[in-house]
Amino acid sequence: MLGLMQDWPLLMHTVLDHAAIQHPHRDVVSRSVEGPFHRTDYATIRGRALKVAQRLMKDGIRQGDRVATLAWNTWRHLEAWYGIAGAGAVYHTVNPRLFPEQIAWIMNHAGSRILMLDLTFVPLVQAMADKLPLVERFVILTDAAHMPQTSLRNAVPYEEWLAEADGDFAWVRVEENAAAGICYTSGTTGDPKGVVYSHRSNVIHAMICTQVDAFGLGAADRVMPVVPMFHANGWSLALSAPMVGAALVMPGAKLDGASVHEVIERERVTFSAAVPTVWMMLLQHLEATGARIGSMNRVAIGGSACPPAITRAYQEKYGVRVIHAWGMTELSPVGTLFAVKPEVAHLTGDDMLRLQAKQGTPPYTVEMKITDDDGRELPWDGTTFGRLKVKGPAITRRYFRREEEEVLDENGFFDTGDVATMDENGYMEITDRSKDVIKSGGEWISSITLENAAVGYPGVAEAAVVSMKDAKWDERPLLILVMKPGVLSPNLTQMRDFLADKVAKWWLPDDLVVLDEIPHTATGKILKTRLREMFKDHRPAA
Ligand code: AMP
């Protein structure tokens, strides 16, 4: 017997339709790439997104075609995003922080036929245009007045291009499992991999993100996605904010502490989301100027582990609750979020901060387990760590154009490549990437735990731990430090003494080197592959 409910497919543009009907005048404010702030609302965004869809079809774009964007978070990017998916095509958000060769590789692999780009990226794209043979047209996200001289094929200012559509158009009907978007993993090893989101996975994932114990979004919120739409599906905010009628505040290209603060104050932002580096920069700005962020009440921090010092400062000094979150491109991206369950509500002070350093618990739709290398499930005791595996409707099962490659285990779980513990209350803590974990004498040493402990040493700006080959133990930890300007580095003995009460004795690093700079990936993570390459022949002096 089947249920007798209506067949109402979960399509991305139904979210924008809802926002335009229920919250037509809600603010969508952006710092434009051209400079001034720009104000619009959901009703207008919907009208223009319909024009984008209509205009794309006039350019020959059809269902399933990929249309790329290389753009900051602004209202135009938002319209383009919905317009592309609403034409039945597939938005392909490209990360401009990648190397040009990687961008070209990704564009060609995705086969994107049109590229919509911000003014900022015109020089970058112009220099590599001959490597983008599949792109038929470049739409510059600006108006005629700001259009630069460019040799890009069929280049046109977005506003003029859009004006050629009258908006008398209906969304292209696709089924809910049709592809809506594609986002490539940052690829620290090998070629980047294309993760293909469906309309259904995007809508389900956005609904989960709005929950009280997730981002807790509502119509009274003023949401500022600092995390760019090109990073891991923009953490769902371009969907979850309009879904509940929250205002959207788009920060554009300027993401330094002072600029982010200006937008928060000006637009009375209540909720925001970004990687720890952004919140660190804002914190430095607040400390240096004595400024406040009175309208903010919570902030989601993820992408890499959020240091307890950041959590403490935001919560205790600025009254902003920190929602530590973990996820990855393959998970749409949210996998866990930190919220206080009744079982841990009695914790206070440092004990609560210690718990908040964990990445949180999976919401409904994310099944989670940890296993050993042979796939055997490990206990949820908060100390045993193993491979973190996940399953759910917004989690990838294949990569684009690598359909022959199996990425799920025999029970349908996706191996995240992260190593983690789970505790008795279901809180997950990342202890490493599986490639980064140090395998010493058959046991695992968490490089992240060591790094977090080492940055507590006065004057240390950044720490990274990689393995050194060792005849007896196979691998041993090497600690790499960057010091704050003008601060002398500790020697190995001083550092080992400092770490002695923070980690197990056999985890203590066997050597220490100091660099001026640690290499990072395009999304700000430590580039361990490069460090491993740099130190592959390194052996401790003694
Ligand atoms: P990306 O797909 O670029 O978002 O990268 C995903 C990876 O970032 C994950 O597999 C983790 O290794 C790492 N990551 C994301 N969030 C966190 C977090 N809160 N703590 C530690 N690592 C994280």
Identify the helix (H) or strand (E) that includes residue 321: strand 321-327
Between these two residues, 435 and 197, which has the higher pLDDT value? Answer: 197
State in Å: Cα 177 to ligand 1 middle: 26
Give Cα separations from 422 to 217, 304, 368, 536 (angstroms): 27, 18, 9, 32
Question: Ligand 1, atom 4: nearest CA belongs to which residue?
Answer: 328
Per-residue pLDDT at 187: 60
User: Which atom of ligand 1 is nearest to 430's Cα?
Assistant: 21
E strands present in 452-528: 460-470, 474-483, 511-514
Distance in angstroms (rounded) separating the CA atoms of residues 139 and 147: 10
Q: Is-catalytic flag, 443?
A: no
CB 113 within 8 A of CB 65: yes
**Tens digit of pLDDT for each residue in 101-146?**
999 999 999 999 999 999 999 999 999 999 999 999 999 999 999 9
pTM over 0.85? The answer is: yes
Beta bridge partners of 464: 480
Q: Would you say domain 436-542 falls under CATH 3.40.50.150? A: no
> Residue 521 CA: which ligand 1 atom is closest?
3
Position 344, amino acid: V
- From the list 176, 330, 429, 451, the catalytic residue is 330
Residue for token pair 């990342």 = 430
Polymer length of the chain:
542
CB contact at 8 A, 121 and 254: no
* 271-274 and 156-157 strand pairing: unpaired
Angle at 65 between CA 60 and CA 66, to 5 degrees: 115
Q: What letter does residue 304 receive in the DSSP assignment?
A: S
Catalytic residue, chosen from 142, 185, 188, 311, is 185
Q: Is the pLDDT of residue 188 over 70?
A: no
**Residue-wise pLDDT tens digits, 234-283:** 999 999 999 999 999 999 999 999 999 999 999 999 999 999 889 989 99
Which ligand 1 atom minimizes the distance to the CA of 306? 19
Q: Which two tokens stand for residue 312?
A: 């403490």
The residue ranges of every structural domain in the chain are: 12-212, 436-542
CATH number of 12-212: 3.40.50.12780
**Per-residue confidence band for 189, with pLDDT thresholds at 50, 70 and 90:** low
Nearest alpha carbon to residue 241 among 265, 219, 269: 219
Mean pLDDT of the chain: 95
d(CA 282, CA 190): 34
Which residue has its alpha carbon closest to ligand 1 atom 6?
A: 328
User: Is residue 129 a contact partner of residue 153, using CB atoms and an 8 Å limit?
Assistant: yes
- As a whole number of angstroms, the distance between CA 480 and CA 40 comes to 48
Q: What residue ranges in 23-155 does DSSP mark as E strands?
A: 27-31, 37-41, 66-70, 90-93, 114-117, 137-140
| CA–CA dist 200, 9 (Å, integer) | 8
Q: Is 109 exposed, middle or buried (0-12, 13-18, 19+ CB in 10 A)?
A: buried
Select which of 34, 365, 444, 529 is catalytic: 444
Query: Greatest CA span in the chain, whole angstroms?
Result: 76
Give percent above pLDDT 90 in the chain. Answer: 86
Q: Is 71 helix (H, G, I), strand (E, B) or coil?
A: coil
* 3-class DSSP assignment, residue 232: helix
